[in-house]
Chains A and B, each alone.
Chain A
């Protein structure tokens, strides 16, 4: 069953495109990683699910959550979706949690809103914290955000996100602000709890390896478009789009020390600056004439889908 579906989503702000064409689906219980560099439109794609787009933004195409088109939701429907069905985890936990309220207040707010009694909400909040590996639970509930480290606070945010057993979790770079050893803990917890609740996950990251370890499928974004989608465990073997390959090659550690890293000339472009044809044509080492003018479609190749003119395509056999 499809939990979340983007169908030719396009977002413009004052006539400038931010997203050009996003078509992607996330099945119930599935984890999909959205990977790309800054400005590629990852966050905007995720925000469009909760209709958190900036003022002046105009979206065309559809975003469906379950059976509903999120653009048709009224105020009450939107509020219901944001508070119960979909949870969001942002990069910076300090910007998410109200600094003057206690951790207990933060965790029980949603539950109280749904009519759970104060003492029950308190008990459940304690259970949620214990589940994400937070110690001294009773004391933590009385503490305020500044008394907790970043890693601990992000666990609190994850606990809050799971409080309502959401059908879908949107995680926007949830571990980027954390140390690597803390990152490992936090992703492991997020994934374990998600599986237990059967929630679907849309995981945004700039780190291909991290996304591959967390997710079932990987979607690579560049300049407001998805250029390749492939199974996470086939990332290294089946990546066919020149941009995905360039990203994989540019990580230090892929070559012997002292050797030159393969680089992509230029810098990441926004949807507005990218050429009319293939979005990657300006930086692609193999770009040909066709690439600049004609938009390549996202077509099946090996185990995934890639949008590139240069890949060999099987000609459809006529039965």
Chain B
């Protein structure tokens, strides 16, 4: 297993339990979705895995020696995750200088390759983030994460802030990038239709606990947990009629 998370627990300020005994694993080259609503603890899990947060108890085992070059992260908002004073090329070559032994020419060639992989070209190299659209910025963020040649990419709501037509482009890009590099995904999302498109396995989180897990096909077509059923039932789709759970509380 590339990533093994066991009995993870995170308590904030000594009382709020954000993550409560969560276990899951991602095989090499696999793709696992962590689904849940706000407050379910999915982002806290992602932050513990990437080392941005310390777990109260439990273990995270990652194959390889250095976490930084094995695990990379893509955040939700590309307007905040990129340095607004750094050009696209310098953003990529900085990561390459840190994580690879390439010389200057090698780094330039590799950054051009990475831009190509995410559907950008040399024209975007000297650009600052402000000159790019939201979709282009998210491509840069993905290229930057892939620059370290990670084995695992943690994507925290990476397509949630994008317009529908741009979201489709980025989802295609993620499918292609995985096929081209063999990188594994840990996909944190609240959007079940996105899960279906990018992931093979899924864990459903609710109030800090895993309530259901399995392959995406199994869980989405035959959910066994009531919360998973409710979550799937709330997704707008053709012929869907929104209903209220409680009619009137007095």
Contact = CB atoms under 8 A, between A and B. Distances in A.
Given A179-B37, A184-B243, A258-B175, A263 B168 contact: yes
Interface stretch (A41-49, A109-117, A244-252, A287-295): A244-252
Interface in B115-173: 133-136, 163-169, 171-172
A43 to B, nearest CB: 14
Given A37-B165, A130-B250, A252-B194, A263 B236 contact: no
Given A130-B249, A133-B249, A209-B240, A252 B163 contact: no
Given A130-B250, A188-B243, A250 B164 contact: yes
Interface in A238-294: 246-247, 250-253, 255, 257-258, 260-264, 267-268
B141 to A, nearest CB: 16
A206 interface: yes
Contacts of B166: 37, 267-268
A264 B165 contact: yes
Contacts of A185: 242, 244-245
A252 B175 contact: no
Given A130-B249, A179-B37, A267 B240 contact: no
Contact of A181 (B134, B171, B231, B236): B231
Given A38-B163, A212-B238, A263-B169, A257 B196 contact: yes
A131 interface: yes
A192 B241 CA distance: 12
Interface in B197-250: 197-198, 216-217, 230-231, 233-238, 240-250
Contacts of A137: 250
Given A133-B249, A181-B37, A188-B242, A250 B165 contact: yes
A261 to B, nearest CB: 4
B38 interface: yes
Given A133-B244, A213-B240, A246 B165 contact: yes
A203 to B, nearest CB: 12
A260 B234 contact: no
Interface string B187-200: 00010111011100
A216 to B, nearest CB: 14
Contacts of B216: 257
A263 B169 CA distance: 6
Interface string A215-257: 0000000000000000000011000000000110011110101
B196 A191 contact: no
A220 B132 CA distance: 26
Contact of A260 (B172, B237, B249): B172
Contacts of B167: 250, 252
B60 to A, nearest CB: 27
B238 A236 contact: yes
Contacts of B235: 180
A185 B242 CA distance: 7
Contacts of A252: 167-168, 171, 193-194, 196-198
A267 B172 contact: no
A236 B237 CA distance: 11
A181 B231 CA distance: 6
A53 interface: no
Nearest to B136: A267
Interface residues of A, number: 47
Contacts, number: 120
Nearest to B248: A130
A236 to B, nearest CB: 6
A51 B202 CA distance: 47
Contacts of A134: 249
A247 B37 CA distance: 25
Nearest to A37: B163
A212 B242 CA distance: 11
B133 A210 contact: no
A247 B23 CA distance: 37
Of A137, A191, A263, most B-chain CB atoms within 10 Å:
A263
Given A183-B234, A260-B175, A135 B168 contact: no
Contacts of A260: 172, 175
Interface string A176-196: 000111111101110110000
Contacts of A262: 168
Interface in B85-134: 133-134
Nearest to B179: A258
A269 to B, nearest CB: 10
Contact of B249 (A135, A208, A235): A135
Interface of A: 37-38, 130-131, 133-135, 137, 150, 179-185, 187-189, 191-192, 206-210, 212-214, 235-236, 246-247, 250-253, 255, 257-258, 260-264, 267-268
Given A181-B230, A261-B197, 20 more contacts: A37-B165, A133-B247, A134-B249, A137-B250, A150-B38, A180-B231, A184-B233, A207-B236, A209-B236, A209-B238, A213-B236, A213-B241, A252-B198, A257-B216, A258-B175, A260-B172, A260-B175, A261-B171, A267-B165, A268-B166
Closest 6 CB pairs of A and B: A253-B193, A250-B168, A252-B197, A209-B236, A179-B37, A37-B163
